[in-house]
Structure 1
């Protein structure tokens, strides 16, 4: 798990935003985090988040991800840089009885997110709040910025990739994988019935 907020393939500007946001939590600057959680009131922390945006068209994404970060970190004393895409993070939503695609609420939420033509800010806020409530790691904040900046890029297929990451079955451990002898036994048993 990364401790800098920058992962492979993340942009410098998204990593810099994540590092600054993490410094607010690390330095216990709860006033700035509270300001970021006020989406309609724009004060210095909000404008500072926008400074990290390399273009004017990307400012909304930087401001909104700063808001989501502040929502997740409300009352927390350690920064969580998160890992994976939003689809991977949504697999962590749920309880012991059902997580990810086995959790009907998480599945409906992801379906709403990935079927949206516009960036679904309200549903993303709900996903972050659910991860916080389940005490699960958020998505990589830097990657979230980069993914959302590509939301309308048909070649990037961000929504599709999030859906695939959410619905993919968990990787099997070597002990769970069928061996050739057990597979042959299953085939032999099927042919005798």
Structure 2
């Protein structure tokens, strides 16, 4: 269902109680998103993938942002992270919480010929991301799509929401930290995930990116 611009439809939750003091807002967002996959709420996930239309699902994701009512920038970050999550999980039966930063996750992009810094496409993508003053949503979507195509773990959705919330904070230096993580030679590799698809359930990767 498409929401009217500026409207706040009844989504079955109290906006003032969304940000529980017992769990950080970004963790609440991740918990809700993974529940959508686990419960096969395909309608809500499809709404979240509609990036150019503000749907009820987007609005609900935004309410998890800190001080959501007075924080439109924070709402946008949470709505867009929910979009990226839904793009990554399209057709998947098991949710993935992700691991590490976006920069570390980008190290997993590539093929047997090389991943991360050894993959020219991954290098160009990260260079564009870290050079952007504004949050580079289009390049972030491309990164998530590449990770999905390579059947590699996504970044931590919780950390992604936190990092993007500090994108314009010069002291946080999020872009710089992502670049450092991307080029870290000691970073560990992660095995191919189990998507619930029998063809990929038993795959594993070694440090060279080969499969068995």
User: Per the shorter chain, which TM-score range?
Assistant: 0.7 to 0.9
2:91 is paired with a residue whose SS is coil
Q: Pairwise mapping of residues 132-147 of structure 1 onto structure 2 (< 5 A)?
A: 132-147=148-163
Aligned match for 1:52, one of 55, 64, 79: 64
Unaligned runs of 5+ in 2: 1-22, 189-212
CA distance in 1, matches of 2:162, 2:187: 26
**Shift of residue 96 of structure 1?**
1.2
Aligned-pair CA distance for 1:168:
1.5
In the alignment, is residue 19 of structure 1 matched against residue 31 of structure 2? yes
**TM-score calculated relative to the size of structure 1:** 0.82
Query: Larger C-alpha radius of gyration, 1 or 2?
Result: 1
Q: Which residue of 2 aligns with 1:87?
A: 103
Any residues of structure 2 matched to 1:73-152 within 5 Å, and which?
73-152=89-168
Give distance in 2, aligned partners of 1:95 and 1:54.
38
Q: Which has the higher contact order (CA 8 A, sep 6+)?
A: 1
Aligned to 1:36: 48
More helix by share: 1
Q: Structure 1 residue 171: deviation in Å?
A: 5.2
List structure 1 runs of 4+ shifted beyond 6 angstroms.
Answer: none
The aligned counterpart of 1:177 is none
Superposition RMSD in Å:
1.2
